[in-house]
Structure 1
Amino acid sequence: MELLLRIAQVIVPVFFIVAVGFVYARRVRPDMTWFNRLVLDVLTPLLVYTALAGKEFRLQDHAPLLLAGALLILGCGALAWVLARGTRVQPRSLVPVVMFNNCGNMGLPLALLAFGPAQLGAAVALFSISNVIHFSLGARITSAEARTRDLLLSPLMISAALGFASAASGVRPPDMLMTGMRLMGDAMLPLMLFALGVRLTTLQPQDVPRGVLGAVARPVIGLLLAVPLAWALDLTGPARAQLILFGALPPAVMQFLLAERYAQEPERVAAMILLGNALAVVFVPLGLAIALPSG
């Protein structure tokens, strides 16, 4: 009973904000273009930098978790390629959906609620590693014509590089500036959940059959790999729990933007991503049940 209450305390606030965005979008049909640009180009880079550059984040303490996260992403990609070949689904459509999870919109707020502010830096570091791989290898998997250089020079990638540099060197802006930057970055967490709710209004009944494979494969393969990886790398406590939650997350919304940019079956990819995020109500509690101690 205590474990169920802890899970509810984590997921109810997250899905409440998603539901508010969903209901609002059904009534108002907002244009999210400027909103998404603000979150992606300003608020998210500030959150990434301040979490990584903060005095409480020590890069060396989280190195095993970052290695595990990278191995989990690559392992999911390898198994997704086998699955794509076996089911005759285009690998360039399925593999990135299974490799990359929604560790931004959903993963960061979940980590904050589940593990507390002291562990948010580790979740942001996983988010940053995921994005580096996504915007390099992931983009190339999506399309052989992807220009990785343009993606890696985005504000998000620059902020991650500066954040890791500050974490390694100890050089950071004055506390007064860091406080302002942190206040702006923290605003991203509920805004991304709200935007996810808005995006879920585009899910249609006909999307379910073509989206179910990627939607289910992402968290199932992630969980199947996360548990043995945590054991093999001797991850314990919050690090083990973070990796398992990371494995249970739904597909990354960002992958739809790449699929649309490179005309790689964007409708099928959108169906996988939207259905996968809807099914998070099943797989996220499962991941938390495995990750959180029952005592």
Structure 2
Amino acid sequence: MDHLFLNVLNVVLPVLICAGIGYCLAVFHAPFDNKVIGGIVSKVGYPTLIISHLPTTKLAVGTFLDMMTAAALAVAAFGVLGFLALRGLRLPVRAFLTPLMHGNVGNIGLPITLLALGDAGMAYTMAFVVVVLVSIFTVGMWIPAGEFSPKKLATSPIIYAVIVSLILMATGQSLPQPISRSFDIMGGLSIPLMLLTLGHTLATLRINSLGRAVLLTALHLVMAVAIASALIWLFGFTGTERGALILCCLMPSSVATYLFIDQHVPEYGPDVAGFILVSTLTTIVVLPVALAYWI
């Protein structure tokens, strides 16, 4: 039991330490531009990480596409269940559906699955990251804004990075070595920058209603367990695939969604901030339990 606890601690603690450093940067008012760093990660870091990592994992294209399909179904299920729950609780859908739908699979999911499940686990998580990021920057923006804009989807670098990666995986080809090494370096920046940004952002959030934040966190966790269990049964996932799917579904609400809520429905910004903060802190307990007893 002690050995199991130590293994779980070795997975979770590095993530918490890196995010904690970002938190300290905010506390001590060190220069840190979330918007600039977020843009670098989404436009350069994620695409290069995908292209540099996916073709080398020896995953079959069909297997990767299966995980992408599962991820799309997970996001859709969170959306449907979240919509029904918010209607039942009489909470505004425009404010709370986007953070309920989208987990923080980038900032927390990638490093956790890399440490817990290795390169293959990280590759499966990338399938989830692609789907969630595309959804965040399309549906996730449209819901609070109340408008539809397919241009965001067509201009997303992540879409093209996935296409390139799938071609390389299917053909067994690789990029020229100078390009491959450049992508390795740029992609390697993504995870530490994401964790620093996560900690810095959490330090700047202000909670309005703690009770509502706890309620939404509990709702999100119940939905996550139900959706992960259903998808494992539906796809017959085992081993690393199963572990990656469970961890991705258990991720807390994405920090990125707060920006859209604050922009389009600012009166609910503090409530959403509270939900994101509480759900993120809850993972300190949820992830060790999942790693020890479910994965």
- What is the TM-score with the length of structure 1 in the denominator? 0.89
Look up the match of 1:198. Answer: 200
1:270 maps to what in 2? 273
What do residues 41-86 of structure 1 show as CA deviations (whole Å, max 9, x unaligned)?
2222211222234363432223333322222221111111111011
Separation in 1 of the partners of 2:36 and 2:7? Answer: 36
User: Residues 101 and 5 (structure 1 numbering): CA distance in 2 closer, same or farther, change over 3 Å?
Assistant: same
Match of 2:23 in 1: 22
Alpha-carbon distance, 1:170 to partner: 4.1
More deviation, 241-250/215-224: 215-224
Matches within 5 A, 1:78-89: 78-89=80-91
Aligned residue pairs total: 292
For the residue of structure 2 that corresponds to 1:105, the secondary structure is: helix
- Output the CA distance in 2 between the equivalents of 1:285 and 1:138: 29
* Aligned-residue RMSD, C-alpha: 2.3
In structure 2, what is the equivalent of residue 98 of structure 1?
A: 100
Alignment-derived partner of residue 43 in structure 2: 41
Identity %: 28
What is the correspondence of 1:126-205 to structure 2 with a 5 Å cutoff? 126-205=128-207
Structure 1 pair 291/176, CA: closer, same or farther in 2 (3 Å)?
farther
3-state SS of the aligned residue for 1:218? helix
Q: Which one of the candidate residues 62, 66, 69 is aligned to 2:68?
A: 66
- For structure 1, which segment, 137-146 or 230-239, has the greater mean C-alpha deviation from structure 2 after superposition? 137-146
Deviation at 1:126, TM superposition (A): 1.4
Residues 36/231 of structure 1: CA separation in 2 closer, same or farther (3 Å cut): same
Shift in Å, 1:10: 0.8
Structure 2 CA distance for aligned equivalents of residues 180 and 123 of structure 1: 22
| Cα 1:165/1:214, change in 2 over 3 Å | farther
TM-score, normalised to structure 2, is: 0.89
Structure 1 residues 234, 57: CA separation in 2 closer, same or farther (over 3 Å shift)? closer
Q: CA–CA distance in 1 between the matches of 2:100 and 2:211?
A: 17
Instruction: Give the whole-Å Cα distance in 2 for the aligned partners of 1:190 and 1:31.
Output: 14
> Which sits farther off after the overlay, 79-88 or 255-264?
255-264
In 2: Cα distance, 1:53 partner to 1:152 partner = 23
CA distance in 1, matches of 2:123, 2:173: 17
User: Distance between the aligned counterparts of 1:62 and 1:23, measured in 2?
Assistant: 37
Q: Deviations over 1:116-162 (max 9, x none)?
A: 12332211111112223333333333333142322441333332333
Q: CA deviation at 1:171?
A: 4.8
Q: Contact 2:207–2:271 at 8 Å: present in 1 too?
A: no
Q: Deviations over 1:183-237 (max 9, x none)?
A: 2201211121111111111233535234333333223311222023212321100
SS at match of 1:116: helix
1:7 aligns with 2:21: no
Q: Is this contact kept in 2: 1:140–1:148, CA < 8 A?
A: no
After superposition, the Cα gap between the structure-2 partners of 1:214 and 1:159, relative to the gap in structure 1 and judged at 3 Å, is farther
The match for 1:239 among 238, 241, 244 is 241
Q: Counterpart of 1:201 in 2: which secondary structure? A: helix
Contact 1:112 1:120 (C-alpha < 8 Å) held by counterparts: yes
